[in-house]
Amino acid sequence: MDTTPAAPSSVRPRRVVTDRRGGRSRAPYDSFNLGDHVGDDPGDVAANRSRVARELGVGEDRLVWMNQVHGSEVAVVEGPQDGPLAGTDALVTATPGLVLGVLAADCVPVLLTDPVAGVVAAVHAGREGLRRGVLPATLSAMASLGARARHVTALLGPAVCGACYEVPQAMQAEVAAVAPAAAVPTRRGTAGLDLRAGLADILGRAGVTEVVHDPRCTVEDPQLFSHRRDGVTGRQAGLVWLG
């Protein structure tokens, strides 16, 4: 018998992924850059983040961000924060109206929701995060709030695709040891990584049965920020909340 407490019927998980369009930032961050650590004008970033809050219908203090470090540290948050959480690559909450944000420009923004328990998570999952186990750590933190993997839906946001993500063979092997599905050839026939395939592999083995892929490649799509393509650039965001 499933004894997981149900979330209030008036609360349901919501997810959004932004792109470059509609903001105030100037080149090379044009225009809807949400990253405050990439050299963009702080006033422009603040204006863009204010627009996020306005469009979502929440106060700016309800947006929670991370200082991401390509690790596996997870923070459970229950209310507004004074600033970005340091050294963190995943946020988890069961608090309605608290919007969790993950920034990316080639790594995968992963948005996890359990609508039964009323628990959501935003995860920054690049090559190192995948290898170091950021997804299992996040699912464990969600479980501490009542979530169950079989109820979780995952959205894997836009990221560099396997055809574009060339890596040394040794690096490919390191990641493949954790997620074999991540090891793919690039369009040039060299060693590559498909991060979303690797993450889907990990989620499936953890018991998550519903994984949605945003197929867009950040390197190939000019409406998305890509560090690999442009070097100095902005960041799009994956946002998840209970609303």
Residue 219: predicted pLDDT: 98
Do residues 117 and 146 make contact, with C-beta atoms less than 8 angstroms apart?
Answer: yes
Q: Which amino acid is at 218?
A: T
What does the angle CA 223 – CA 224 – CA 228 come to, to the nearest 5 degrees? 130
Going by the DSSP 8-state scheme, the letter that residue 149 receives in this structure is: G
What ranges make up the beta strands (E) of 68-199?
Answer: 74-76, 85-86, 90-93, 99-104, 108-114, 119-125, 153-156, 183-185, 191-193
Compute the radius of gyration of the chain from its Cα atoms. 17
Enter the CATH code of domain 13-238.
3.60.140.10
Give the DSSP H/E element, type plus range, for residue 26.
none
**Tens digits of pLDDT across the chain (243 residues):** 333 445 555 689 999 999 999 999 999 999 999 999 999 999 999 999 999 999 999 999 999 999 999 999 999 999 999 999 999 999 999 999 999 999 999 999 999 999 999 999 999 999 999 999 999 999 999 999 999 999 999 999 999 999 999 999 999 999 999 999 999 999 999 999 999 999 999 999 999 999 999 999 999 999 999 999 999 999 999 999 999
